[in-house]
Structure 1
């Protein structure tokens, strides 16, 4: 494991652009890269049943919301797309704010090749919702710049794809826990403030 990995390292080595059109399974039949902090390995909600890994099961490229938001999709005001550990921060905050029916959270488990087909279904499922990409990384170090144009292509540029996350920075982390938690709370406030992008539209 690399202690200061960030997604740009994968992108720079061919994780985007022309590499998306290659038939990589023919070249490397077993390729799966998972980046996760140790805290997620111990997280009680980040566990799978063995039933999820039996013969006949498969990797889920996208994991849709399965809660109250998915039951009444026309009433959903915002869809948060994310990948990785930030999902657990988002679900905890959504529950605390009692916004399970207003905000859907969709996990993008496979970023490359990009799951255009599945994300198109997700966007169409919530016709009245804003689309927001959430990431814990700084804006210039996470997947926002990679995801935004692809997600907009998926929806034929019908609406903006907003951003909820840390501001751009040169360093991958602040090095200060208090500042880190303040930045995380700002991310969550943006993600769940339904008026956050009102003046930007």
Structure 2
């Protein structure tokens, strides 16, 4: 059964008034979470959430730099640059339209992004009526005993926290994540950014 280590960006951002930072920091938090999980894959998820909370000021600066670069060079180039600053090698970027594949198809595409050990991705969702939100995923290995490891799947939502489970649980994790907020059910498209 998958687990969930809670995290709420809102709890950490109450004093932030700048809408560019407050409304876009979910992307920066996803980048920071990926950098943390790639560097510390054996750390328990609850400890990663604590580390991420300590990085809120860095994430705000990261978002501010990304917003400036996005205005100058566009989303794709700015995402690659932002990721590189944290040691992430973003390469492939595609968009999935719900009208073409449905919600099940969207979850299948996100699962495909995590098809290999070490795979990392951010997924920026656009909602009906406007607005958006970013989440991220990672496929790693967790120690079972001695030199024995098993594949693990992790999904992070800055509004919810870090899900951790086994590979076969990814669809259930994503279904739970998308079912948490009514707005998530209105997702029209997902912009996928994966490592090269």
- Give TM-score, length-normalised by structure 2: 0.27
Per the normalisation by structure 1, the TM-score is 0.27
* Structure with a larger share of its residues in strand: 2
Q: Which has the higher contact order (CA 8 A, sep 6+)?
A: 2
Bigger fraction of residues in helix: 2
